[in-house]
Amino acid sequence: MTTSVYLSNENLVVVSGKETKAGVSVNSFVTIPLFEGAVINGMIINDDIIRSNLKRLCYKGVIPKKDIKLVFDRSTILIKFIRIPKLKSQNILELVKNTFVGAAEAREELVYDYSIIKEENNKDGSNLILATAVEKSLIEEYVELFTSCGIKLSSIDIAINSILKFQRHCPNFKNSTFIISFVDADNVFSLLFVDGKYSFSNRFRLISERGTTVSTSEYQGFLSTIIQFNKAQKGNNEIEYALFCGLKENESLLCDELSSSLGLRVEQLTNCPSINIDTKLKNREPEIMKNLFAVANLIK
């Protein structure tokens, strides 16, 4: 059994389960609402609140003391997709570091990592990787926080990589052309997949109150931007549908309104054949789908 933890701007999310051949199985799911401003854009502002909740979940046996997989999201994370020759891990890390050398000069100390997106049987033995760099202080802050609660992290991953792993692993998303958007407070993170391959991602900030007519126009605007981007690539793959994770109750009509205005099937991700949810949690399936970062992080 694996335990995944995700700290959003609004909730502390804990999911336990395991990777399966068909996707992911979820055995337990807990969310703790956070006070506004406790976490902002992946940065912990009020560590006392987070620490208190983590210790309470440990005491209740929801979070074990070791082998915890943490996933987080932050707009300042640097990412780049690179095709590389067959290299040793250390050499790949050096290549990743050199890739971000320009950006690193304007930032504090960074740590670097990569994930192999697809093993390909090319004649030159090359692979596509997701290269990433993030502030070292942020990683240290997460490690120190969990350590202070007696919790040992086994891995720290970024949200986009967890979704890429999930998309590659789950048959119903493998060959589709679609948009998936994650809404967390007033932040929207959207990814475009074309014929089952990552194409583009962008972030938007909602200015107006969610659930209002004005916010619907904002959602329509950023989805239109992605649709136009896809058309500009002059490929033959039209976007089949758009999915949302994280919508609020007062946004129940949003998908229908966007479907009508965009001429595109727009839906909330309320269930997924690739995610097998324990019977006792079935009534919480829509809520679990809103926290796909944490669920997808169960995949190795």
User: Which regions of the chain does DSSP assign to beta strands (E)?
Assistant: 2-7, 11-20, 23-33, 39-40, 43-44, 68-72, 78-84, 110-118, 127-135, 153-158, 178-184, 187-194, 197-205, 241-245, 265-268, 275-277
- DSSP 3-state percent helix, strand, coil across the chain (nearest 5): 35, 35, 30
Mean pLDDT in residue range 125-146: 93
Q: Summarize pLDDT for 181-214 with one digit per residue, the tens.
A: 999 999 999 999 999 889 999 999 999 999 999 9
Q: What is the mean pLDDT of the chain?
A: 93
Residue 102: per-residue pLDDT: 83
pTM above 0.85, yes or no: yes
Mean pLDDT in residue range 18-26: 92
The number of angstroms, rounded, from the C-alpha of 18 to the middle of its chain's C-alpha atoms is 17
SS3 105: coil
Q: Which two tokens stand for residue 95?
A: 């290549």
Q: Summarize pLDDT for 166-177 with one digit per residue, the tens.
A: 988 887 788 899
